[in-house]
Chain A
Amino acid sequence: MMHPMQILQAALNGQPAPRIPIFCNLLDQGARELGMSQAEYYSRGEHVACGQLAMRDRYGYDNLWSLFYVGREAELLGCQEILFADDGTPNVADYFLRTAADIEQFTIPDDITRHPLWQEIAHCLAILRREARGRFPICAYLTASTTLPALLMGMDKWLELALTGPFTLRDQLLAKCSDFFRKQIAAYRAAGADVLLYSTPFGAASFVGMRRFRQFSLPWMQRDLAPGGIDGVVYYCGTAPFNAVIPEVMQQLGITAHYLSPQDDLAVAKSIIGARGLTCGVIDDIQMIAWSPQQTRQEVARLCRIGMVGGHFLLGTGVMPLAVPEANIRAYLEAAFTYGAWS
């Protein structure tokens, strides 16, 4: 019997398997599972690892997450405050790059793995690795250099700097963020992450347009990924649809695995990626809040019907909101195992 890591490898390589890989991203649900507040849960790597293992055991999907919350990267670089909410995702409350001088003086630590907050991530990864024993893919989330400044200074300030300059200052910040990315991806690889979700809305034409994607985003992405290569890297634009850039991402960056937006046309993505890589179809889990289990199953069936043609397909969720009812999580997974079977 194949284990989930082998099923994922089979999907990547177009080899036979009993079913497609099935991902489910239940991050904040881990705190609820352990009966903790978000702040308490995310304070220790051990909590996050236990929460993620418990969620996977409960529902039986394929992946494990080492992600605490997206703002953790900002904390590694100087953010002092995260706004926790027990009904949703934590967000950055301290945009510490406020002035041009802040950007100029901002430095990237030589060794991010010595940061106490990184050590909690490493501890989480060590537990996940020990428990997974190579059977379950362990996922990590990494923000690209072109998007990381939004976590450090706020999206509107960053977009203003990115689009209107001063461009020397912008590029200075980007170089620092790219250096951080390189260190972080190396650290995640060393700690045992298998699937490296490379997240960047700035890598979507729906965010910056095609011209700016080519002239601005692509060169910085090449810089981010140059030293470590693309092994295990999955392209993701944080729910921004990105079908239009897939050919150039494959050609210029060599990334063949794409975790789509629910708003991307899955058939179009499949026709672009085909057997050259892995198409990850994503259910709209915001609609899952209001859908019935029957509607959830119908949508899974639709995604599988389109995505499984020719193989090389994975089914996943976004960051499943806490408000998604238990019945719909179960409906998603039952349907995924049913319609995702190759027999």
Chain B
Amino acid sequence: MFHSFIKAYNDAVFDTDRESALQVIDKARAHGHSPEEIIFQLVIPAVEEMMDTLSEDPDANLAQHFMTAQIAAEVSEKMLAQFSRPPATVGRVVIGTARGDLHSLGKRIVTGCLKTMMVEVLDLGVNVPAEQFVTQAIAFDAQVIAISAMMVHTANGPEGCRKVRQLLRDQQLEHRFRLVVGGAPYRFDEQLFQQVGADAWAADGVSAGKVILNCIRELQP
């Protein structure tokens, strides 16, 4: 039963058709499925499937990534409010754009996907100093620090990921956190993430959700 809902939902998301996607959710609710079932048996498997599809499809486009996150986040927020008890958290992530960078689209896509996957996300906003990534990651007890950078000097410069890595090293915290980066410059030079001291990178917002989930699992006992 859920398989047909997942297919219909993802067909609509793939076509960036928000209305049709929400109609699938309404239909599943009308069939008597609980909010918990909708999230865990429909939306999360659908987003996981979409992560694989969009990551592997050379013709996937930014609009599809955005709508995948946007619709999933919208449905999750609505359903979570109706849960009989709060769901277990998969992990915790702090996310922000690097110092000097004001581009928030990638961060928004990643955040939407992660929240749907039951990851707690602390959004630090844009133009975030390196020190703040570290202090907030400690305070939030995060497993992953995610840094978005859309410009070459914010992706590759001394005030972004390089400085966060240095701070983690100086404070002997490298064992505690995984450092993940994303943004256009990393797509043009696939070795860049290593040069700036990141543990992993993602080519797009939806793939970033998957990469971050893997990092969280690595750190879990």
Footprint of B on A, CB under 8 Å? 83, 85, 87-89, 91-93, 154-156, 159-160, 163-164, 201, 205-209, 211-212, 239-240, 244, 262-263, 284, 286-287, 289-290, 321-323
Given contacts A163-B16, A207-B61, A209-B16, contact A289 B102 (CB under 8 A): no
By the criterion CB–CB under 8 Å, are B61 and A208 in contact?
Answer: yes
B184-218 interface (Cβ within 8 A of A): 184-185, 187-189, 191-192, 195
By the criterion CB–CB under 8 Å, are B152 and A88 in contact?
Answer: yes
By the criterion CB–CB under 8 Å, are B100 and A88 in contact?
Answer: yes
Interface residues on chain B, number (Cβ under 8 Å)? 33
Write the B53-85 contact mask toward A (1 if CB under 8 angstroms, else 0). 000000101111011001000000000000000
By the criterion CB–CB under 8 Å, are A93 and B102 in contact?
Answer: yes
Q: Name A288's closest neighbour in chain B (CB-CB).
A: B189
By the criterion CB–CB under 8 Å, are A91 and B101 in contact?
Answer: yes
B125 at the interface (CB under 8 A from A): no
Tell me which residues across on chain B come within 8 A of A164, comparing CB atoms.
18, 70
Tell me which residues across on chain B come within 8 A of A289, comparing CB atoms.
152, 156, 189
B103 at the interface (CB under 8 A from A): yes
Within the assembled complex, what's the spacing in Å between the Cα atoms of A156 and B154? 19
B127 at the interface (CB under 8 A from A): yes
By the criterion CB–CB under 8 Å, are A89 and B151 in contact?
Answer: yes
By the criterion CB–CB under 8 Å, are A205 and B105 in contact?
Answer: no
Within the assembled complex, what's the spacing in Å between the Cα atoms of A163 and B192? 32
Tell me which residues across on chain A come within 8 A of B18, comparing CB atoms.
163-164
A-B contact list, 18 entries, CB within 8 Å = A83-B100, A87-B157, A88-B153, A88-B157, A89-B152, A91-B101, A93-B102, A155-B105, A156-B105, A163-B66, A163-B67, A205-B59, A262-B188, A284-B188, A286-B152, A286-B189, A290-B192, A321-B153
By the criterion CB–CB under 8 Å, are A91 and B70 in contact?
Answer: no
Footprint of A on B, CB under 8 Å? 15-16, 18, 59, 61-64, 66-67, 70, 100-105, 108, 127, 151-154, 156-157, 184-185, 187-189, 191-192, 195
Within the assembled complex, what's the spacing in Å between the Cα atoms of A263 and B185? 12
Interchain nearest-CB distance for A87 vs B (Å): 5
In the complex, which of the residues A155, A160, A206 contacts B61, with contact meaning CB atoms closer than 8 Å? A206
Tell me which residues across on chain A come within 8 A of B67, comparing CB atoms.
163
By the criterion CB–CB under 8 Å, are B104 and A154 in contact?
Answer: yes
By the criterion CB–CB under 8 Å, are A159 and B105 in contact?
Answer: yes
Interchain nearest-CB distance for A163 vs B (Å): 6
Within the assembled complex, what's the spacing in Å between the Cα atoms of A206 and B57? 11
